[in-house]
Amino acid sequence: MKRNHSLALAICLVATIWASDAAAGSRPVVTVDTAKKQIIASELTPGTQVLIYGYGAGTTGYDRVFSEWHEIVSDSDNDGIVTYKSNEPIPWRSIWVAVDLRNAQFGIAAPAGYNIAVPTTTKVFKRDAAGLLTQLASASPWLNAVYVHPGGGVWLMTADDGQPDDFDGRPDGFTTLALQSFKSLGVPGERPKEFVPGGVLIVIDPFRMQLYAVRLDGSILKGGGQ
C-alpha cells in the first residue's frame, strides 16, 4: 500500500545497502531499483513474511512532496527473496527498510548515490502513568513510525508537533508518539502494551529525511539513544 502526502517524483538507478546491527540471524540485503520501480529483499528466512517500508521526498518545482509505502510481502516460493513493485515512481531521495517478520532482522537501503541521514538528537522512551514504556519523544516537528512487535503485529503512526496526534499536545519542538495511538497494518497480533526488547522500531523524520531504525534492547529502552 502507498500513502501519499502528495505526489512524489523519481529518477535514477539501483542500490546502496546498509544492514542493521541486530544480533543473531540472517540480515536481509535490500536493493532499490528506481528504473524498475521495485525493491528486492534477499537473505530472508524461507517462507517468511516481510514488511517493506519506504519513505520518499520529492518536489513539484515549488513545493516539497512526500510519499510513504508500507506492504507485507510473502516469500511464497520459499527462496528467501521477495520483490515489492511500486505503482508509482520511486524518488531518488527515499529510504527503504525490509523487516523479516519471522526473526525480526532488518536491512536498509536507498537509491544509488543517496546517503541515508541518521538523527543527531536522542530518542527518549518514556513511561506512562502505569509505569509502562509506551511513549517515544524526539526533537522533531514531524515523525512517521513503524513498530514490529515480537510475537506478532506491525503498527504505524504519524504525528506532528502540537497537533492532536502529538501525545503531549504542546507546540514545543518535540513530537511524542504514544503506542496506544499506533494503527495495525493488519498482521495478526494483539496490540502491544509497551515497547519491549526484541521489537523493531523504525522512525522517519520527514523534515530532515533522517532514519532511526533499531532492534530494541534493555539499554536502548532505558533512555533512548543512537
What cell does 78 get? 520459499
CB burial string 6-40: b at 16+ within 10 A, e below = eebbbebeebbebebebeeeebbbbbbbbeeeebb
The C-alpha R_g of the chain, in whole angstroms, comes to 17
Cell 516537528, residue located: 141
Beta bridge partners of 90: none
Cell 504542546, residue located: 170
For the chain, give every domain's residue range: 1-115, 117-226
Q: What are residue 30's phi and psi, to 5 degrees? A: -115, 135
Between the CA atoms of 120, 18, 160 and 198, what dihedral angle is there, to the nearest 10 degrees?
A: -100
Tens of each residue's pLDDT in the chain, 226 residues: 555 543 222 222 223 232 334 445 679 999 999 999 999 999 999 999 999 999 999 887 778 889 999 999 999 999 999 999 999 999 999 999 999 999 999 999 999 999 999 987 778 899 999 999 999 999 999 999 999 998 779 999 999 999 999 999 999 999 999 999 999 998 888 899 999 999 999 999 998 999 999 999 998 888 654 3
Cell 496506544, residue located: 180
In 3-state terms, what secondary structure has residue 221? helix
- CATH level 3 topology of 1-115: Immunoglobulin-like (2.60.40)
Global pTM value = 0.85
Distance of CA 37 to the CA centre of its chain: 19
Q: End-to-end alpha-carbon separation of the chain, Å?
A: 29
- CB of 9 closer than 8 Å to CB of 58: yes
